[in-house]
Amino acid sequence: MVKLHNLRDNPGATKKKKRVGRGPGSGLGKMGGRGIKGQTSRSGVAIKGFEGGQMPIHRRLPKRGFNNIFRKNFAVINLSTLQAAVEAGKLSADEVITEALLVERGVIRRKRDGVRLLGRGELNAALKLEISGASKTAVEAVDKAGGSLKLSIPAKAEAASKEA
């Protein structure tokens, strides 16, 4: 029977802290296991990538890739998320749904460089959307549901930012 007074960790689950520099009997006295003199015996050692004079691996290997500093970072929302927000009463079909409104109602956390609508899920409500971008399937789904979609970023610019 398990009771509070006989609860304990499994054997080997906890380990006593090494008490360094507490005399010769401790096994880690005098120099505290750091040896004699030199960089590593002192605090603030900074030789993480040093390989004894050999060219370090991070300098031997070639650089790869490219990071586009002008890349747009969109907040992504799916059709299923929009439909769930309509069913939950956060959004209604008779209002114009903007990026600011989506953030205000808690459908998305933040808009970043804009909101991009993707085509996962079903959309049954006829919504009027004003957002930054949308995929082809999302545009088709909104049209099929009887809604309208106004994009602030043209399709070509959006495709170029997506490829980068």
Tens of pLDDT, residues 73-84: 999 999 999 999
Domain residue extents for the chain: 75-163
d(C-alpha 33, C-alpha 41), whole Å: 9
Tens of pLDDT, residues 94-146: 899 999 999 999 999 998 899 999 999 998 888 899 999 999 999 999 999 89
pTM over 0.85: no
Domain 75-163, what architecture? Ribosomal Protein L15; Chain: K; domain 2 (3.100)
Give the contacts of 31 (CB within 8 A, at least 6 positions apart): 41
